[in-house]
Structure 1
Amino acid sequence: MLDDELHFLLLRAFNHSNRRIDEAIRRIGLLPGQPKIIECLAEQDGRTAKEICAECILDKSTMTGLLNRMELRGLVRREVHETDKRSYRVFLTKSGRDYATRIAAIMHQADELAMQGMSETERKTLREGLRHVIANIEQEEEE
């Protein structure tokens, strides 16, 4: 049965969660991909585009387009990197920080819905298990 296959369960969980998040994000006027970047910068502002790509699992061309649109909307600003003039650091603007608060609420609601009825121990076990799955796959990709 497919319901016993991890890859299938991960895909179904992702699709359901992503659809719900995507609808909420579009209602506040953001495009797919933009919330990940805002969350990443809210956690650590001033990252380079390369760092954001790695953290958000985005390719360089997608990142460039998203950042261009976000800069035009006044969500982020770019500054030339102090030590590497070929790269730049990305910072949230006040508007970007305001969106970060709204995004955090949307993501929290999605997470709470997904883990509804689970004890804190079950939630912790799920997160640890998923981190383990991710680490296994990332290690294989590096080799």
Structure 2
Amino acid sequence: MTGVGRAVAANHPVKERVGFGLAKVCKAHRGNVAGLLAEFGLHVGQEMVLIELWQNDGLRGGELACRLGVEPPTVTKMLRRLEGMGLIERRPDPADARSFRVYLTGPGRALEEPVLGCWERAEEKTFAGLDPAERREFGRLLAKVRSGLGSIRD
């Protein structure tokens, strides 16, 4: 690329968009969370499965996919890995032989406080430049944007 091409790319209009900035912040935050979760042998996203189970142990695989906003094959792959780590177990659903339910094991339950600590540390790092009122306003604005996106679940 020529010198002129580099200058144009550096000032590309998409970089001026709020969404571009949000994507960059999300990527950096995800990287921070990933580094902290790695201490416990977890990859980003795996803790989301655990969070759902800490709130409601015994969910069906399809329910997890819906709650996480991912496709069932993605959840299946995540569950296989978590099961291999001894953090969850899958059991047949007594009400539906075609389905299974996912349950935490003792080690899976024991990760709740450490994972919560990872998220707290990542949040502190990510929002260190904001005062408490700015954090609340940012959270309010994110919730408003999120609700405008539609079918994303909590």
TM-score band w.r.t. shorter chain: 0.7 to 0.9
**Structure 1 unmatched ranges of 5 or more:** none
Deviating 4+ runs (over 4 angstroms) = 1-4
Aligned mates of 2:86, 2:20 — CA distance in 1: 39
Of 81, 96, 105, which residue of structure 2 is paired with 1:93? Answer: 105
SS in 1 for 2:133: helix
Structure 1-normalised TM-score?
Answer: 0.84
1:54: which partner in 2?
A: 66
Matched, 1:121 2:133: yes
Q: Shift of the alpha carbon at 1:72?
A: 2.1
Of 20, 39, 45, which residue of structure 1 is paired with 2:32? Answer: 20
2:123: which partner in 1?
A: 111
Aligned mates of 1:46, 1:115 — CA distance in 2: 34
Q: Deviation digits for residues 69-108 of structure 1, max 9, x if unmatched?
A: 2112210012222433322221111100112221111011
SS in 1 for 2:42: coil
Q: Shift of the alpha carbon at 1:41?
A: 1.1
Aligned mates of 1:43, 1:77 — CA distance in 2: 16
* % identical aligned pairs: 24
Matched, 1:5 2:17: yes
Q: Shift of the alpha carbon at 1:40?
A: 1.6
Structure-to-structure mapping, 1:70-85, within 5 angstroms = 70-85=82-97
**Structure 2 unmatched ranges of 5 or more:** 1-12
Q: How many residues align?
A: 140
1:29: which partner in 2?
A: 41
Aligned mates of 1:9, 1:120 — CA distance in 2: 21
SS in 1 for 2:63: helix
Of 142, 145, 154, which residue of structure 2 is paired with 1:133? Answer: 145
Structure 2-normalised TM-score?
Answer: 0.79
Q: CA RMSD in A?
A: 2.1
